[in-house]
A and B are shown apart, each in its own frame.
Chain A
Amino acid sequence: MALVLDILSWVFLGLGAAFLVIGGIGILRFPDLYARMHAAGIIDTLGSALILIGLAFQAGLTLVTLKLLLILLFVQFTSPTATYALANAAYRSGFAPLLSSKDDEPSKP
C-alpha cells in the first residue's frame, strides 16, 4: 500500500515538474507579454496543482494534507485575479498585443 502511494505521489510530482518546465520554456518561446501569460497559466494551474497533490500523497491522511489542499484552493482563487490585474494594467496603459491578423482586433476602450 505504501509502495502504491509512493508511486502515485512520484507520478504526480514528476508530471507537475514536467508542466513547470514546459511553462518555463513557453515563457521563453512566446513572443509578447500577453502570449507569455498563457504559458505562466500552465505553471499556475496544472503545474502547482500536480505538485501539491503529489506532496499530499506523501503526507497521507493528516492535517498537512488539509493544509496543502487549502494552499491549492487559495492559489486557484488568487492567481487568475493577479493575472487579470497584470493584463488589465498592460492593456489600459496602451501596450498593444501582437496579433496574427490585424483585422480582428476589437476597438480600444
Chain B
Amino acid sequence: MTKTLLHAISLGILLALVWLGLSGFFEPLLLGLGFLSCVAVVLIALRMDVVDHEGHPIHLGWRIVTYWIWLIWEIVKSNVEVARRILHPALPIAPCMIRVKATQDSELGHVIYANSITLTPGTVSIVVEDGTILVHAIAREMADDLETGEMDRRVTAVETRPSRQSGEA
C-alpha cells in the first residue's frame, strides 16, 4: 500500500510538471484547475489499478538514464551501418533469424530489452516468449553483435539494485 502511495505521489508530480510544461499558464485560477485535473487523473488511475511498477517504473531510477545514453550511441552507430547497406549498389544484406536469451527477471525488463532491439535498426524483435526473443536481423554481423549479449547484460543491470549488482560483478 505504501508502495502504491509512493507511485501515486510520483505520478502526480510528473503529471503536474507535464501540465505546466505543455500549458505554459501560471495564473492562479488555471494553476488550480490544472492541479485539480492532475489529482483527478491520479484518482482515476488508482481506481483502474494501473499505478504500479510497470506503468510507472520509478524503481529503475537513474540507471535507466545512463542506459539510454549508451542506447542512443548504439542506435546512431547501427543507423549509419544500415544506411550504408541501403545506399550500397550491391545491397549487401543477408537476412537471418536468431533466438537470444532475455535474462531479465520481470516482464518490464523483457519489454525494455525487446524494444531496445527494435529501436536499433538492423534488428527487430518478432516474438517474445519464455525468456527468449526471436530476432530478425538484416545481416549476419548485426545478429553477431546482439549475440555477444552486451545489451542483455546492460538491461539486466538496469533492473538490478546496485548492491546486488556489485555482488555479482
Contacts and interface: CB of A to CB of B under 8 A. Distances in A.
A29 B91 contact: yes
Contacts, number: 121
Which residue, A26, A41, A70, A98, has most C-beta atoms of chain B within 10 A? A41
Contacts of A97: 95, 97, 136
**Does more than half of chain A's interface fall in helix, strand or loop, or is it mixed?**
helix
A25 interface: yes
Interface in B72-95: 75-76, 79, 82-83, 86-87, 91, 93-95
B126 A87 contact: yes
Contacts of B126: 34, 84, 87-88, 91
B118 A41 contact: yes
Given A101-B96, A104-B97, A39 B125 contact: no
Interface residues of A, number: 43
B24 interface: yes
Interface residues of B, number: 38
B62 to A, nearest CB: 16
A99 B96 contact: yes
Interface in B118-136: 118-129, 134, 136
A87 B136 contact: yes
Contacts of A26: 82-83, 86
B109 to A, nearest CB: 15
Nearest to A106: B99
A23 B79 CA distance: 10
Interface in A62-98: 63, 66-67, 70, 76-77, 79-81, 83-84, 87-88, 91-92, 97-98
Contact of B86 (A39, A87, A88): A39
